[in-house]
Amino acid sequence: MSDGKMAKINRFTRREFKEEEVYTFSVILCDNEIDRDCEKFSVEALKKLAELYVGKTGIWSHDPKGENQTARIYETEVVTDSSRKTADGEAYTCLKAYAYMVRTDSNADLIREIDGGIKKEVSVGCAVSKETCSVCGRDIRTGECAHRKGRIYKGRKCYHILGEPTDAYEWSFVAVPAQKGAGVTKKYGGEYSARNADALGGIMKELCDDLKRDIIRLSFLSGGGVPAALTKAAIEKMEPEELLKMKRALSGAVDDGSKGELEKSFARAAENKENDPNKSFRV
State pLDDT tens for residues 162-180. Answer: 999 999 988 888 765 566 6
Residue where a domain stops, chosen among 185, 212, 235: 185
- Give the range of the structural domain holding residue 208, as residue numbers without chain letter: 194-275
* H or E stretch covering 51: helix 43-52
What was the pLDDT predicted at 203?
A: 59
Give bridge partners of residue 70 from the DSSP assignment: none
158 near 148, Cβ under 8 Å?
yes
Q: Quick one: 202 and 167 in the same domain?
A: no
Under the banding of pLDDT at 50, 70 and 90, the label for residue 276 is: very low
Residue where a domain stops, chosen among 151, 185, 219: 185
Domain assignment present for residue 241? The answer is: yes
Domain assignment present for residue 209? The answer is: yes
d(CA 11, CA 186): 24
Residue 96 pLDDT exceeds 90 = yes
Q: Quick one: 37 and 76 in the same domain?
A: yes
Under the banding of pLDDT at 50, 70 and 90, the label for residue 207 is: confident
Q: Quick one: 42 and 115 in the same domain?
A: yes
Q: Quick one: 25 and 67 in the same domain?
A: yes
What was the pLDDT predicted at 93?
A: 96
Give bridge partners of residue 224 from the DSSP assignment: none
| Residue spans of beta strands (DSSP E) within the chain | 22-31, 39-41, 57-60, 71-85, 91-102, 122-133, 152-153, 156-157, 160-173, 183-185
Total number of domains in the chain: 2
Domain assignment present for residue 270? The answer is: yes
Neighbours of 26 (CB within 10 A): 15
In 3D, which of 164, 105, 95 has the Cα closest to residue 131? 164
Q: Quick one: 66 and 200 in the same domain?
A: no
Looking at 76-227, list the stretches that DSSP marks H as alpha helix, in order from N- to C-terminal side: 108-115, 194-222
Q: Quick one: 32 and 143 in the same domain?
A: yes
